[in-house]
Structure 1
Amino acid sequence: MSIDTEKRRIPSILKPYSSFDGSKLNTSLSQNKVRFEDSSVELVLHEVLESNRFQRYELLVSEVKEQQFGDEKFQQIFVESKKCASLLDANFGMLVESLLSANWLHRNETSREVYKDFVIELLVAHNNYTSLAVSKLVQQFVPKDDERAGWSYGKPGEEKVQMFEPIHDLIVRLKNVIPMIFDIILVQMRKSFPYFKKPTHVVCGYLHNTLWMTEYSPMFTEELLEIIFSRMVVVDVNAPRNEIEDAEYPEDDAQMFSMEVKTVDGAEDEENTVMKLPLAETLDCCMEMMFEYISKHLSTDSSNAADRMFRLLLNLFDKQILPTHNTHHVQFLLFYLCSFKPSYVEYFVMYLWKQVGNPNVSTPMRQAAVGYIASILARGKFVQLSLLKTMLQELANWAYKYIQRADSMQHNQSLKAHMVFYSVCQTIFYVVAFRSRQLTANAKNLTFLQTLQLSSIVTCHLNPLRVCLPAVATAFAGVTRAHQLAYCHTILERNARRKLATVYKNDAQTPEECLDTFFPFDPYMLKKSGKRIDSIFLKYEASEAEEDNGISSPEMRGRKRCESMSEDVDDFIHEIKRLKNGASSENGETHFSYSYGVSPGFHS
C-alpha cells in the first residue's frame, strides 16, 4: 500500500477531540500500566502519518491528559510540541485538546512560558484551534466554587492576582500576533460568564478579569463593559429592594431603629458589612468594583480619557439600563459618574430630556426617562441650582404647550392617552416639593417659582393631580400653599371624592388611576458600595415655611420623630415597613403603601 493511501485513511482513524472516548483508553492503559516512552513528539506524529501506527500516539495523549509528571517532563513535551506545531492539524485534535487543557498555571515560571510559546505557535500555524484555545484561557478566569480563600468581598488577593497574570500576558501576546483574535475572545467572554447565582467570589472574580482586559485592550472597552453591564442588570433585577429589606430588617420597627442607631454610632463590625441576601452581596461587591473602576478612570489627568469614559458608560446606560424594567441599584453607576463633573450631570439630564421630547421613542421609554430626570434632580447633591431651574423651566414650558394642544384637539382625559404629559407634570411637582428648601431659600428663587405658573398646570382640564402619587401630590400642595404659589388642596379633595380605592398587585391600595411611577434613585441599600453614594445623595428636608406653618402630613410629622432617633435613617424603609399592608393615620384616613420602585421619599 502506498504512503498516499495511508494518509488518506488517517481521517477515518484519528477521531476529532470532541468524539474521543478518553475513559476507555485511560482504563485500558492504567490496567496495562503502560507509559509513553522518551520518544519525541515529532517522532510519534510521523509514526501516525507515515506508518499508520497509533500505540505511542495514544500513550502520549493519555499521559498528557493525566499529567502525572513533573515540570521537567512538562517542559519537554511542550517544547517538542511547539517544534512540530505545523503537523498538528485537525487530525490530531485529541492531542491538541489535551495539550491546551494542561494545568499550566500551577507550575513553575519556566513551564508557564513554555506553554504560552506553544499556544502562540499553534494558533499561528492553525487558526482552526483559536476558539478552543481561547475558551480554555477564558475558563481559567472563573474561580472554583469551593475556592473562597484568597478572596475578600469579591476582590482577589495578591496570590490570586499573580495566578491570573500569565493568562492576561498570553492574551496580550496572542493579540499582537493575531489581530482579529479579540473578536473570538469577546464571544468566549460572553459565553463563559458565570451564572448569576454562583457564589460572590466566582461572579466577582470573572468581573475582575474582564475589567483587567480593558486596561490592555482599550479599543474593546465598550464591548467588555457591555458584557459586565448586561450581567449586573440580571443580578440587580433578581435582587429586588423588598427582598433585601426583608433579609436585612426581619424584625419590627423598634429593633430596626435600634440597629440603625448602632451603625450611626460606629458600632458596625465586619459581619454587618456582608449583605444577608446572597444576590445582594454579589451585587454589592460588583458595584464596589465598578465604582472603583469609574473613580480610577475619571480621576485621571487626561480630560479626554475621562470624557470618553463618560460617553461610553452613557451609551451602555442607553442600551442596557434605561430599557430594563425594575432595576434598583445598577443605575447608580451613572449617578456616581455624574457626581464627578457638573457638565456630566447636565449632559445626562439633557440626553434624557431629548428622549422625553422625541415622539418616535416609545411611551414606556419616555416615561422611564422622565423618572430618571425627576430622581436625579431630586436626589443628586451635585446638581447645581442653575440646572435645577433650567430643567423646571423646560418641563413647565413643555407642559404648557401640551395643554394648549390638548385644548384644541379635545382629546380624552384618560391616563393612557396622556401618559408622558402626566409623568412630566408629576416630575415638576416632585422636584419642587423635594427641593423646596433650596428653591424657596430667598426671594429670587421664589420669584423664579412664580414664573413657572404652577397654578395653570394644576388647574388645567387634564387635572394632573388626580393621577399623581398621593405622597407627591400632598407634599407639592403643602409647598405651594406655604409659599402661595398655587392652591391644590381643593382640587385634591374633589379628586378624592370622585375616586374609590382599588386593590392592585401586592395587596397595596392605590388610587383608581395612578401613574406607574419609577424613582430609579431611591435610597441605596447595599452596604459596602453604598459608602460611595452617601456623600452625594440628598435626603428629603422640608422647607422652614412648611414646618413653621404646621401643614405637613401625618407622614411628615412621623418623619420628625424618626429624625430624633437617627439622622441617617433611610427615607422610606420605616414608613414602608409600617404601611406594608396598609395602615391608618392618626386622623383615621387610610394611606397608600408603595414598593421601593415608587417611593417619593418624603418620609426621611
Structure 2
Amino acid sequence: MGVEPANYTKEEQYQQMEADDDIDRTDSEIVFHIRQALKSASSDENDDYNELVGLLHYNDRLSPEDVAMLVTSLKALSGAVSCIDTVLHGSLLDTIFNMSLWSYGPEVMDALIELIITLAASSGKYVDSCLDMLVCNFTPPKRFIEALKWPYGVAKKDHVLVRVHSALEYISGLVPLAPSRLLPIVLQRMPKVFNNLQEPVVVMFVENMFKLESSAIGELVGRRMLIMAVVDLLIDFDVEVGWDDILEENPQKGIFEMDLMVTTFEHLKYCKENGRLVEVFESLLQSFQITVLNAYKSKFAQFVIFYACSLDSEICGTRFAEFLADMYICCSFPPLTRMSAVAYLASFMSRGRFLSTPLVVNILGRLAKCCSDYCRLQSGNSDPKIHRVFYAGCQAIMYVLCFRMRSIIDIPNLKSQISGFPLSQIFTSHLEPLKVCLPSIVEEFLQQAKSANLLRKSGTPVFHDMLESELSKAFGGIERLDISIRPNFVYWSMVRKTYEDDEGSSDEDVDVFYPETNRAASRDEGIVESFEDDYLDEFNDTLNRMSITPKDSTLKSRFGRNSQTPMQMPSKLRPSMSPESSL
C-alpha cells in the first residue's frame, strides 16, 4: 500500500508537485520536439528527424532513461499522426512497422500498440501496414526462439500475444474493413518452410491462427479459410517432411507427439468444449475434399478430421461417413476420387470404434447396393482397370466386414439386415471381385463369412478355392488395390473374428492383412512397438477408440491419463499412405 498524500508533510507534498511539474514539462518538450522533427524532414536540416528514426531503431539493453524517452516519443507520435506524411516520413513509418514487440518491456509495448491503433484509425492507407505489423508479431525474432523453452520466454510470449490480438480486435472495431483485409495478410505471412529451427515458429503461428479463428472477429476474418489454411499447411508438412526424417531426429516420436498436431487437436477439443465443433467440422470437411482426399501419400493431415469425428461421433462421425459414401456412389466424381473416398471410408469405419454398428451396417448396405447395381449393368469386358471403381467398393466392403463382422452378427436384427444385402450376387458375379481384390483381405473375409453363414447362392455356401489368380497378379502388382485401400491406422490386431471363441484373438492375428508391410514396419525403430499399458484418458473416448492412441506423448500432460480402462487396439502407428493407385 502506498502512503496517501494526506500523510505527507507540506514540504514533501510541495517537492512532489515540483517533480510532477518537471515531468509534465519534460513530456511537453518531447512532444514539441517530435513535431519539430517531423517538420524538419522536408528541409536540409533534418538531423532531428534522423535522430527520431534512430531512436526507434534502438532496442538493445535500454536504460530506464532510454525506455522513458522511447515511451514518450511513441506517445507523442500517437498525438501527431496527422503530421505524418507517407512519402515525406517513409523511413519513419518503415521503422515503426518493423518494430518487434518482443524486443521491449510492457511500457514500450503498450505505447507502440497505441501508436499502431492510432495510425490504423487515422487513415485507410495505414490499415494494411498496421495489420501486417501485428501479424508479424505472431512469432518472435529468430534470436528469441530458444527462449521459448524457458518460463521467462513463455511469459514474454503471453505478454506480446495478448496485446497483438487485443489490438486486432480494437482496430476491427474502429475500421470496419479491417477484418476482410486481415485474412490475406495472415495467409501471406504463414510460414511455409519446415525444419528443426522453423518448427516452433510454424506451431506458434498456427496457435495464433486458431486464436484468431475463435475470437470475436473470427467470423469477419473468415473462420473457414483459416481452418482450411491450417490443413493446407499440414499437407505441406506431409510433402516437406518424410516420416524417415522424423524418425532420424527421434526414433520414438509418433504422429501425436508432433507439436503441430498437438496444437491442432487442442483447438478442436477447445471448439468441442465451447459448442463450436460442428461449425468448424464443416470447414474441415470442405478442406478434406479439396486438399486431403487426393493428396499424394498424406501422412498427417487426415488425422485432423478423424480426431474431430471422434470428439462428436453422432454428428461429425456420421456426417463424415455419409459424405465419403455419397462421394463414392456419385458417378459424377472422377474414378480416382471415388476410389480414394471409399478407401478412406473403409479405414474409417473399420478403425473408428466410436462409430455405431447400425451406422456401419447402413453404409455397407449403400455400398453393396451400388456394387450390385453396377454388376447388373455390366456385360462382356472384364478388364479390371475398366471396373476399378467397382473393385475398390468390393474390397472396401470386405475390409470393413473383416473388422466389424463379429459385432454385426451379435445383434440379431443387424445380422438379418446384412444377410439381406446382395453380397453373394456381387462376389459371384462375372466380374469376379474375389479374384481381383487383395488376396489377404479376400481370405480373411471368406473365413469370417463362412463362419457367419453369410454368403449363399441358391441356398449353397459360396467360396472360392483360388484366392489369387493370374488376373489378380496382372491387375497391377505392387499397385494393386491393396495400395488403394491401405489402412490409415496400420494394424489389424485384437479383432474378434466370427470363427474365434470368446477368449479373443491371439497375437498371431497381427499380420493378417499386410504381412509384408507389417514385417517391414517392424524393422523400423520406433514404428511398431509392443502393446503397452500407457494410454490417455482423453483418447479412451476419442482417438483410443479409433486405434490411433499414442503410446506416450506431450498430449499426456495436456489431456490427462486414466489407468482404469485398458486400450483395445495397438498403441503405436505408422503413418498411412493415402490412395496412390495408377488404375
Q: TM-score, normalised by structure 1?
A: 0.71
2:177 aligns with one of 166, 180, 199: 180
Matches within 5 A, 1:232-311: 232-241=234-243, 274=253, 284-300=258-274, 302=275, 305-311=276-282
Q: Name 2:370's counterpart in structure 1.
A: 398
Aligned residues: 484
2:33 aligns with one of 29, 32, 40: 40
Q: Does 1:209 align with 2:208?
A: yes
| Cα pair distance change 1:311/1:325, threshold 3 Å | same
1:460 aligns with one of 411, 429, 433: 429
Encode CA deviations 1:249-269: one digit per residue, 9 max, x unaligned: 6xxxxxxxxxxxxxxxxxxxx
Q: Does 1:316 align with 2:250?
A: no
Q: Name 1:330's counterpart in structure 2.
A: 301
1:438 Cα deviation after fit:
0.9
Q: Is the CA contact (8 Å cut-off) linking 1:522 and 1:597 kept in structure 2? A: no
Corresponding letter in the other structure for 2:478: T
Q: Name 2:218's counterpart in structure 1.
A: 218
1:94 Cα deviation after fit:
0.6
Matches within 5 A, 1:408-447: 410=380, 412-441=381-410, 443-447=412-416
Q: Is the CA contact (8 Å cut-off) linking 1:71 and 1:111 kept in structure 2? A: yes
1:434 Cα deviation after fit:
1.6
Moved more, 173-182 or 51-60: 51-60
Q: Is the CA contact (8 Å cut-off) linking 2:228 and 2:287 kept in structure 1? A: yes
Moved more, 459-468 or 39-48: 39-48
| Cα pair distance change 1:355/1:116, threshold 3 Å | same
- Give the Cα separation in 2 of the matches to 1:47 and 1:151: 42
Q: Name 1:476's counterpart in structure 2.
A: 445
- Give the Cα separation in 1 of the matches to 2:201 and 2:470: 56
1:168 Cα deviation after fit:
1.4
Q: Name 2:313's counterpart in structure 1.
A: 341
Q: Name 2:86's counterpart in structure 1.
A: 90
* SS of residue matched to 1:545: coil
1:313 Cα deviation after fit:
2.5
Corresponding letter in the other structure for 2:508: R
Corresponding letter in the other structure for 2:495: E
- Give the Cα separation in 2 of the matches to 1:164 and 1:575: 47
1:384 Cα deviation after fit:
0.6
Gaps of 5+ in 2: 1-28, 456-460, 525-573
Q: Name 2:484's counterpart in structure 1.
A: 517
Q: Does 1:66 align with 2:64?
A: no
| Cα pair distance change 1:307/1:236, threshold 3 Å | same
Encode CA deviations 1:12-31: one digit per residue, 9 max, x unaligned: xxxxxxxxxxxxxxxxxxxx
- Give the Cα separation in 2 of the matches to 1:228 and 1:510: 33
Gaps of 5+ in 1: 1-35, 250-271, 525-537, 551-555, 564-569, 581-593, 600-604
Q: Name 2:571's counterpart in structure 1.
A: none
1:230 aligns with one of 232, 237, 241: 232
| Cα pair distance change 1:542/1:241, threshold 3 Å | farther
| Cα pair distance change 1:238/1:60, threshold 3 Å | closer
- Give the Cα separation in 2 of the matches to 1:78 and 1:365: 56
1:445 Cα deviation after fit:
4.2
1:470 Cα deviation after fit:
2.3
**% identical aligned pairs:** 19
- Give the Cα separation in 2 of the matches to 1:598 and 1:129: 45
1:73 Cα deviation after fit:
0.8
Q: TM-score, normalised by structure 2?
A: 0.73
Encode CA deviations 1:529-552: one digit per residue, 9 max, x unaligned: xxxxxxxxx95514152579x9xx
Q: Name 1:258's counterpart in structure 2.
A: none
- Give the Cα separation in 2 of the matches to 1:462 and 1:85: 77
Q: Name 1:119's counterpart in structure 2.
A: 116
1:329 Cα deviation after fit:
2.5
Q: Does 1:196 align with 2:150?
A: no
Q: Is the CA contact (8 Å cut-off) linking 2:487 and 2:576 kept in structure 1? A: no
| Cα pair distance change 1:476/1:241, threshold 3 Å | farther
Q: Name 2:548's counterpart in structure 1.
A: none
Corresponding letter in the other structure for 2:577: G
Q: Name 1:359's counterpart in structure 2.
A: 331
| Cα pair distance change 1:248/1:94, threshold 3 Å | closer
Corresponding letter in the other structure for 1:208: E
